[in-house]
């Protein structure tokens, strides 16, 4: 029996979760390993991949809106909680595939999965032993020092809420000028660099709060180097794969080529 590794792709809306999920599956399959994609976003309309298991087969956002007379936001919240009610069927479907990797694309709005108990329950029920969070930091939201700190805060909050091993990545690394991505990566490697950048911003309450948040992040060990990834040429996926293997295979390469 295979010991599947569950990889949960989590991040803010528009951070590139679905795109990275698709890219990782292509990369893994090219190396002779089995991987399936589980879509856990009931409100997804246009996905770049065809999911192997789709929560929309059990939950319809449109039906929830009509049945409960809810608006889009209220229905999204209701659907997020309903995911937990279907975890048994989802798990049975996953076990049927017997894959090496289960790539889980989570709801577009981070708070629907991270901040609700249903999200934590889903992770613990589907994969109590081998699961890892791939947290996406959107470079468009991290181009300033304060913006970067706020993104780190969401990352460490996700780690705190879900209580699983976590790898932080800089998604869509090719979508910002190379100089900007290099600065963000430098900030992620050295707390001193980000602190210096913060001090260079205009003195405001926002900057003061960012300084306090940064100290909190450092105290809790949430300041970790980012792995830059991109769909273009599958950039950085090898580094992401290696980080996952270090977590669960002691660095042993499971690829068959």
CA 231 – CA 251 distance, rounded (Å): 24
Q: What is the pLDDT of residue 249?
A: 64
Residue 187 domain-assigned? Answer: no
In whole angstroms, how far apart are CA 117 and each of 11, 13, 47, 77, 91? 17, 20, 26, 12, 18
Cross-strand bridge partners of residue 166: 133
Q: Is residue 193 part of a domain?
A: no
Q: Yes or no: say if 114 and 19 are a contact pair by the CB < 8 Å rule.
A: no
Give a yes or no: residue 253 inside a domain: no
Q: What is the pLDDT along the chain (257 residues), one digit of tens a residue?
A: 456 899 999 999 999 999 999 999 999 999 999 999 999 998 888 899 999 999 999 998 888 888 888 888 888 889 888 999 999 999 999 999 988 899 999 998 899 899 999 999 999 999 878 899 999 999 999 999 999 999 999 999 999 999 999 999 999 999 989 999 999 999 998 888 888 898 888 888 888 888 888 888 877 766 678 999 999 999 999 999 999 988 876 545 555 44
**What does pTM read for this prediction?**
0.91
Q: Is residue 158 part of a domain?
A: no
pLDDT number for residue 2: 57
Tokens 């029996």 belong to which residue?
A: 1
Domain count along the chain: 1
Residue 146 included in any domain: no
What's 106's domain CATH number?
3.40.50.300
The pLDDT value recorded for residue 1 is 40
What 3-state class would DSSP assign to 167?
Answer: strand
Structure tokens at 176: 């910002």
Domain extent at residue 40: 5-139+164-175+225-248
Residue 133 lies in a domain: yes
Q: Decide if 256 is inside a domain.
A: no
Q: Where are the alpha helices (DSSP H) in 143-236?
A: 145-162, 178-189, 191-199, 205-219
Alpha carbons 134 and 86: distance in angstroms, whole number:
23
Q: Say which residue the tokens 């939201």 belong to.
A: 141
* Residue 185 domain-assigned (yes or no): no
């Amino acid at each position: 029996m295979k010991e599947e590794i569950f990889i949960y792709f989590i991040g803010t809306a528009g951070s590139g979760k679905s795109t990275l999920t698709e890219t990782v599956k292509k990369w893994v399959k090219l190396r002779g390993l089995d991987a399936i994609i589980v879509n856990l976003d009931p409100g997804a309309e246009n996905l770049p991949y065809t999911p192997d298991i789709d929560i929309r087969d059990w939950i319809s956002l449109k039906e929830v809106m009509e049945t409960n007379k809810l608006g889009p936001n209220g229905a999204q919240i209701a659907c997020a909680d309903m995911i937990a009610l279907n975890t048994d069927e989802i798990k049975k479907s996953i076990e049927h595939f017997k894959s090496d990797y289960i790539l889980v694309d989570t709801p577009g709005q981070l708070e629907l999965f991270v901040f609700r108990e249903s999200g934590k329950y889903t992770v613990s029920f589907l994969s109590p032993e081998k699961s890892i969070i791939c947290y996406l930091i959107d470079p468009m939201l991290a181009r300033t020092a304060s913006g970067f700190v706020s993104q780190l805060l969401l990352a460490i909050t996700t780690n705190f809420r879900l209580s699983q091993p976590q790898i932080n990545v800089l998604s869509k690394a090719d979508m910002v000028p190379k100089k900007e991505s290099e600065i963000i990566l430098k900030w992620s490697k050295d707390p001193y660099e980000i602190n210096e950048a913060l001090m260079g911003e205009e003195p405001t309450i926002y900057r003061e709060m960012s300084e306090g948040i940064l100290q909190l992040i450092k105290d809790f060990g949430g300041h970790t180097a980012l792995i830059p990834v991109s769909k273009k040429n599958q950039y950085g996926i090898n580094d992401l794969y290696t980080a996952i293997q270090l977590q669960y295979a002691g660095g042993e390469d499971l690829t068959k080529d």
